Amino acid sequence: LLPRFKRFKVVGIFRLDMYEYDVGHVLIHLDDAAKLYQYGAQVSGVRLKLADMDRAPRVAEEIGAQLGPDYRARDWTREHGAWFRALRLEKTIMFIILLLIVAVAMFNVISTLVVAVNEKRADIAILRTLGASPRSILGIFMVQGSLIGVGGTLIGTVVGVLLALNVPEVVRFLEWLFNTRFLSPEVYFISEVPTDLQWADVGWISGVSLVLAFVSTIYPAWRASQVQPAEALRYE
């Protein structure tokens, strides 16, 4: 087979920030493509654009079932199936890592309150001798732990949202700082990190963090409420 040659006039240059397409793809008129590949009036394929890109696999499956075995329908998730499976696996791993980080944060809150209870045993005993009930002591330490959780959640949410809204700038700064390239276009399909901040995700993650922070205060607060005044003041 001999290669076909045809001279075209370049009228513009496009960039998708995807190395595979930016380096090796050109867009030409359909009539010129038909002449170049000697298709004549035949059509080699039809491309559909959906309003909801997540419905592409199901729509492609329905179209393939209606057209029969002589035709095939492919969606954007099958063009680079291995790549998307790798992304799905990476997303699962990141979820597990973040879950472990949240667990560590919970243990930090618990350990901080336990240390505070041990350091304030004498003060707790004095409050008990002055008439404070175990329930009031329980409430004091639960409020303290909840305030720590609320403060940490607010700070983490604000910092996380700011970073998510400025990921390209942060990546460029880190690349300049360390004199490296995190997403080399010769290696990866993308050369930049796109961001899409989902406020619903921000809301439920913040809510779960607050609930976990509140739950982590229960055990230290219960220990504080069980302090016996006579035993705590014995060596004071």
Provide the domain limits for residue 178: 81-232
Residue 188's pLDDT is what?
Answer: 65
pLDDT at residue 135 greater than cutoff 80: yes
Q: Are residues 109 and 203 in the same domain?
A: yes
Half-sphere exposure of 217 (CA within 13 A, CB side): 19
**Domain count of the chain?**
2
Residue 187 falls inside a structural domain: yes
Residue 162's pLDDT is what?
Answer: 92
Phi, psi torsion values for 86, nearest 5 degrees: -65, -40
Tokens encoding 59? 């729509």
Top mean-pLDDT range of 57-66, 73-82, 222-231: 57-66
Does this model's pTM top 0.85? no
Q: Are residues 171 and 224 in the same domain?
A: yes
Residue 3 falls inside a structural domain: no
Residue 224's pLDDT is what?
Answer: 86
Q: How confident is the model at residue 236 (pLDDT cuts 50, 70, 90)?
A: low
Written as one string, the DSSP assignment of 121-149 is HHHHHHHHHTT--HHHHHHHHHHHHHHHH
Measured CA distances, 16 to 51, 52, 100, 167, 186 (Å): 20, 20, 36, 18, 14
Q: How confident is the model at residue 93 (pLDDT cuts 50, 70, 90)?
A: very high
More confident residue, 95 or 187: 95
| Model pLDDT for residues 171-203, shown as the tens digit of each residue | 888 888 888 877 776 666 666 667 788 888 889
pLDDT at residue 2 greater than cutoff 80: no
Residue 45 falls inside a structural domain: no
Q: Are residues 149 and 110 in the same domain?
A: yes
Q: Are residues 170 and 69 in the same domain?
A: no
Q: How confident is the model at residue 158 (pLDDT cuts 50, 70, 90)?
A: very high
Residue 205 falls inside a structural domain: yes
Phi, psi torsion values for 208, nearest 5 degrees: -65, -40
Top mean-pLDDT range of 70-84, 183-197, 205-219: 205-219
Q: Are residues 151 and 212 in the same domain?
A: yes
Mean model confidence pLDDT for the chain: 84
Q: What residue type is 12 in one-letter code? A: G
